Chain A
Amino acid sequence: DTEVTQTPKHLVMGMTNKKSLKCEQHMGHRAMYWYKQKAKKPPELMFVYSYEKLSINESVPSRFSPECPNSSLLNLHLHALQPEDSALYLCASSQSGFEGYTFGSGTRLTVV
Chain B
Amino acid sequence: DQQVKQNSPSLSVQEGRISILNCDYTNSMFDYFLWYKKYPAEGPTFLISISSIKDKNEDGRFTVFLNKSAKHLSLHIVPSQPGDSAVYFCAASANGGGADGLTFGKGTHLIIQP
Interface residues of A (CB under 8 A from B): 4, 6, 31, 33, 35, 41-45, 48, 50, 55-56, 58, 88, 90, 92, 94-99, 101-106, 108
Partner of A98, one of B32, B41, B42, B105: B32
Q: How far is the CB of A26 from chain B (nearest CB, A)?
A: 17
User: Which partner residue on chain B sits nearest A39 by CB separation?
Assistant: B40
Cα–Cα distance between A24 and B102 once the two chains are bound (Å): 20
Tell whether B101 is near chain A: CB-to-CB under 8 Å: yes
Tell whether B103 is near chain A: CB-to-CB under 8 Å: yes
Tell whether B93 is near chain A: CB-to-CB under 8 Å: yes
Tell whether B30 is near chain A: CB-to-CB under 8 Å: no
19 residue pairs of the A-B complex, CB under 8 angstroms, read A35-B101, A41-B106, A42-B104, A43-B44, A44-B104, A45-B101, A45-B102, A48-B99, A48-B101, A90-B43, A97-B96, A97-B97, A98-B49, A101-B98, A101-B102, A103-B45, A103-B46, A105-B41, A108-B41
Contact B43 A55, beta carbon cutoff 8 Å: no
Using A42-B106, A48-B100, A104-B43 as known contacts, list a sample of 18 further A-B pairs with CB atoms less than 8 Å apart, ordered by residue number in A: A31-B98, A31-B99, A33-B101, A42-B89, A45-B101, A48-B99, A58-B101, A94-B98, A95-B98, A97-B32, A97-B96, A98-B98, A101-B34, A103-B45, A105-B41, A106-B41, A106-B43, A108-B41
Q: How far is the CB of A79 from chain B (nearest CB, A)?
A: 24
- Name B85-114 residues within 8 Å CB distance of A: 89, 93, 96-107
